A and B are shown apart, each in its own frame.
Chain A
Amino acid sequence: AQKVTQAQTEISVVEKEDVTLDCVYETRDTTYYLFWYKQPPSGELVFLIRRNSFDEQNEISGRYSWNFQKSTSSFNFTITASQVVDSAVYFCALSEAYNQGGKLIFGQGTELSVKP
């Protein structure tokens, strides 16, 4: 069975601190997709990244970076120099390959609060 675990329910940091959100997944598939979404209080899901299981390169996009390690089934997300606007709930998600990333299994979410 597929499962995504985000063990951190809530994280609170002060602006400019770095913060890492953990994501551990379980799947029997050899080909799959991993995602991160941001959900601000308004509710919409903001797409951050999609990574397929064959691409283990770490990725950096501005203040955001992702560390994908198949050996530990983890896909962690780091925000560098956090800002108040980063405050939101962040979801990690997993999709089977045949869905091309359509049917997502979400983790429980991590609520990030960045205080000024």
Chain B
Amino acid sequence: GAVVSQHPSRVICKSGTSVKIECRSLDFQATTMFWYRQFPKQSLMLMATSNEGSKATYEQGVEKDKFLINHASLTLSTLTVTSAHPEDSSFYICSATGYNSPLHFGNGTRLTVT
């Protein structure tokens, strides 16, 4: 079964609204979580790395005020896309790793902004 649960799997929202995506580790403590974005027919690009209890580290070119990441517990990280626009439509996928725990990916969230 899945060890990293990502929710929702699909979301459609209107331009200007905010969307929250959750990434949960189900049976291990995720000290570090990663958020990736994948545009159609493209590769996965790392957006940010979050360590539990500290601020996320964003990759160059990723707006931290637009993509808010919270990793307040060892089992949950959230990505909030604020004031979403059609160009934010993408596939967002998280991964998690912990002490003595290999890397696991969530199943991804397909975001469509209309």
Chain A contact residues, CB within 8 Å of chain B: 37, 43-45, 47, 50, 91, 100-109
Contacts and interface: CB of A to CB of B under 8 A. Distances in A.
B29 to A, nearest CB: 14
Q: Is the interface of A mostly helix, strand, loop or mixed?
A: loop
A11 to B, nearest CB: 15
Contact of A43 (B32, B102, B107): B107
A72 to B, nearest CB: 22
A107 B97 contact: no
Most buried by A among B42, B43, B93: B43
B91 A101 contact: no
A44 B95 CA distance: 11
Q: What size tier do the contact residues of chain B reach?
A: 10 to 19
Contact of A47 (B42, B44, B105): B105
Interface of B: 32, 34, 42-46, 49, 91, 93, 95, 97, 102-103, 105-108, 110
B102 A101 contact: yes
B110 A43 contact: yes
Contacts of A45: 44, 93, 105, 108
A106 B49 contact: no
A54 to B, nearest CB: 17
Nearest to A43: B108
Given A47-B105, A101-B102, A91 B93 contact: no
Shortest beta-carbon contacts, A-B, top 5:
A44-B107, A45-B105, A102-B97, A106-B44, A43-B108
Contacts of A106: 43-45
A43 B91 contact: yes
